[in-house]
Structure 1
Amino acid sequence: MTMKLLIVFGVAWLSHLVTPVQMKRQAVFSVKDEERLSRWQEPVLSFIKKLYRGRGRSMASTSSRNTIDALCHFNLWTRKNPYVQETLLTDDVALLSQSNFNASNPTRMFIHGWNMNGHSHTLLINLKNEFLANEDCNFIAVDWETLANTGSYFSSASSTQPIGVATGDFINFLITQGLNVNQLHIIGFSLGAHIAGKAGNHASEHIRQITGLDPAYPGFSISNTDARLDVTDALFVDIIHSNSANLFEGGLSFPTSIGHVDFWPNGGIVQPGCSESAVCSHSRALLYFIESINGKTPFTSTKCWSHADWKTGLCNNNTQTEMGLPVSTLANGNYYLDTNGEAPFALG
């Protein structure tokens, strides 16, 4: 199964080299500099990207935007409607006021990946249930199912930019209706991580946090930060790598650090209990995050220079933080930890 998946991705990758996904603008710094962005650089890059931040609707054609809006839905669950979602629409004030959305509560927004949906997928429902059990919040799922289930990964990847802009427009609408961006946390899985980045970039205000769960790598590059999640898209960006390697090495997500803090459970490539299944390892990032919300055992992680150094104990006295929801927003750099091969995954 893994070999078949790699062959499919490989063929698509070669065709993608001939007809690459269109990118809006190129990065203004080198690959080497971007791989571990210094904190002092972020305000400069953030200012540059801020000049391009959207105000209201994007400049895409009306017909194109109408098509995207029709294929992108925003589903809301709260403790008042924990089982049946309410669908919200950008700029529909009446619909929002009739819903259970409460601008005074924290807002958790999840963006799914390829071959998933934002209304009934098991992992989405589990994530929603854990958040609502943990806090009285607005849980919103960005549902781009039609474009995420085209049968072609690269077709879906090319939709991340317009879906990200549409999501940014929706966030801007919520801001006008009282949403406090300091209480907004976006969680994006796989392709959804890059949608989250575009949404954060397009938002009229700098949002608090984006969590990237094994951000998809095929079809994206280190240098083009506008097309992928990067540290200027939110005040704090944390990444969990669970299948991070080059495509032909069996990896589906970014093999380099792209956040303020990057977590590398079990080395970040193959997860225990997954054998050589790339899809299994890829989805573990989401499973780890779900467990971190209410789990009794923490995903304690240690800052280190490499996985090899961490394994040999060279970093035993270094800074620690928890991976997942309880992560310290003061953390930075690369953190390592081991997990169990089955749930509960955390080892403490």
Structure 2
Amino acid sequence: MLRIAFLHFHMLKLCFFIFLIYWVKSDEEEKCPEFTDLNIGNALSGTELQVQLLLYTRENPNCSERLIEHNVAASGYLDTSKKIVFVIHGFRPTGSPPAWLGDMKELLLSSEDINLIIVDWNRGATTVNYIIAVENCRKVAEILKNYIDQMLVDGASLDTIYMIGVSLGAHIAGFVGQKYNGKVGRITGLDPAGPSFTQQPPEERLDRTDAQFIDVIHSDTDALGFKKPLGTIDFYPNGGMDQPGCPKTVFSGLQYFKCDHQRSVFLFLASLKRRCNIITYPCDSYLDYKRGKCVDCEAFQPMSCPVLGYYADRWKKMLIPKSSPTKAYFDTSDQDPFCMYNYLLEITTWNKGTRRGFIKVKITDYAGNTVESEMNSEASTFRQYKKVKILTGFYQDLDKISKISLTFSTKTLIGPKHKLRILQMRLKSLNNPERLQLCRYDFVLMENTELTFKPIPCPEKGT
């Protein structure tokens, strides 16, 4: 009997303990609302649109405050005198929260004292039917306008509103901007969705007139992204497709479909980490950029060439109407922080006949560190006394170069080996244009034979 009573007592204690854990957990969940976490089952059955706005500030960086739709003024953390940044996700075919969301929150708050609002429309974006998610975009924009209207009444300014939209989220940001006649301060579009939007007129998608400043990163223009320019300035990493480090075949599974598309987000996050500035080059085409035709940043002084990401708005092209967008191209490495250290190699030859081929570059510093460039994707044409510009890049930056190695190749497997007679070679750092330019004169490159030499400082211009 005593044993039964003892067991009952311990069962009661266990039940109370479980209840206490559940009550505390429920209380924590109530105190710290989180992004909606769904699964593939929800995607298969479909979800009704629900939108919640989760506010984070430096005062509550780890515990969000859910804004009340019709009483935003009741917020305990929203400070309308500060910048208000909205982050809007896109299509969620599996229902899980975006993998990048936590980093986005932490990095934005550490970069600037802002009101950060995560727009959670996972219920409405989670579906296997992409068209339903597309149709919900306009509805989400209408709901966001309701919130923003209340913020404006409470003292906020459209100038300080900044919307970061990913994929479908970029078009949602555009729809919101339309509702305010383009007076919203800034919109960043991270690989705006292409399917269902590519053939649409400006009023049915993100457009450069939707905000005072719009920067767009296009990383998957041949599949899930949007190819044509949409902003004040449009960035095309690696030409806008086939990002380095991403799978090349369908056998890699889900990553094959989303890696290029998501790269825009990770490039933006890299800009917040400030490990290096990703410098970009305004140009008419990726091919012209690769041929070294658009790498003179001095042409844009005093602003120089634009940098990618969060700080892109520090570069604004002067006296350019919104109808004339700027396209900027650049190459990246295959992993975070994605920086490529670019050099311009200028070569003047004195061969009587024309030569076509590639030049591979290695540089070595005084500590013995060596980095090798990728071969230029386009063959260069070398003509007598004509200067040829070759853009080359390295994954690592070497400050003081002691040796340069060049290899000339025509990539032909048969036939005689060729020589390239060099009248002058000049190597210039594009990331650090203040560095000494390095030269070498009168030497011969034998095909497929590496030549290593010590460069000398180039003479100053005009001397």
**TM-score strictly above 0.5:** yes
Measured in 2, the distance between the counterparts of 1:181 and 1:216 equals 25
Q: SS where residue 100 of structure 2 aligns? A: helix
Report if the CA contact (8 A) 1:90-1:173 is conserved.
no
Moved more, 187-196 or 99-108: 99-108
CA distance in structure 1 between the partners assigned to 2:194 and 2:183 by the alignment: 25
Larger RCO (CA under 8 A, 6+ residues apart): 1
Asked whether the equivalents of residues 188 and 196 of structure 1 are also in contact (C-alpha less than 8 Å), the reply is yes
- Residue in 1 that maps onto 2:136: 159
* Structure with max Cα Rg: 2
Q: In the TM superposition, what is the alpha-carbon distance from 1:106 to its structure 2 partner?
A: 1.3
CA-to-aligned-CA distance 1:199-232 (integer Å, 9 cap, x gap): 1112377111000000001011344222211011
Equivalent of 1:323 in 308, 329, 336: 308
* CA 1:92–1:344: 2 relative to 1, 3 Å: same
Give 1:291 deviation, angstroms: 1.2
* TM-score, normalisation: structure 1: 0.74
Q: How does 1:307-346 map to 2 (within 5 A)?
A: 307-318=286-297, 319=300, 320-327=305-312, 328-331=314-317, 332-346=325-339
Contact between 2:174 and 2:206, CA under 8 Å: does it hold in 1? yes
Check 1:190–1:70 CA distance in 2 against 1; reply closer, same or farther (3 A cut): closer
Q: Give the equivalent residue in structure 1 for 2:281.
A: 302
* Distance in 2 (alpha carbons) for counterparts of 1:214 and 1:280: 12
Q: Per-residue deviation at 1:82? A: 0.5
The structure with the largest helix share of the pair is 1
Q: Could you tell me the TM-score, scaled by structure 2's length?
A: 0.56
Give unpaired runs (5+ residues) of structure 2.
Answer: 1-46, 249-255, 318-324, 342-463
Whether contact under 8 Å (2:275, 2:337) holds in the other structure is: no
User: Percent identity among equivalent residues?
Assistant: 33
**Cα drift, residue 157 of structure 1:** 1.0
* One-letter identity of the residue aligned with 2:116: F
Deviations 1:310-336 (A, max 9, x none): 011111215411010111351451001
For the residue of structure 2 that corresponds to 1:336, the secondary structure is strand
Cα distance change on mapping 1:298 and 1:177 into 2, 3 Å: same
Provide the residue aligned with 1:36 in structure 2.
Answer: none
- Taking the aligned partners of 1:310 and 1:80, their CA distance within structure 2 comes to 45
Cα RMSD of the aligned pairs, angstroms, is: 2.2
**Structure 1, residues 129-162: CA drift from partner, whole Å, max 9, x if none?**
0011111110001110011101211111111111
Structure 2 letter corresponding to 1:252 = L
1:117 and 1:88, CA in 2 relative to 1: closer, same or farther beyond 3 A?
farther
Partner of 2:203: 226
Structure 2 Cα separation of the partners of residues 271 and 232 of structure 1: 29
Q: Equivalent residue of 1:131, what SS?
A: helix
Equivalent residue for 1:21? none
- Cα deviation for residue 278 of structure 1 reads 3.5
Please name the residue that 1:85 is paired with. 64
Shift of the 206–190 alpha-carbon distance from structure 1 to 2, 3 Å rule, reads same
Per-residue deviation, 1:179: 1.1
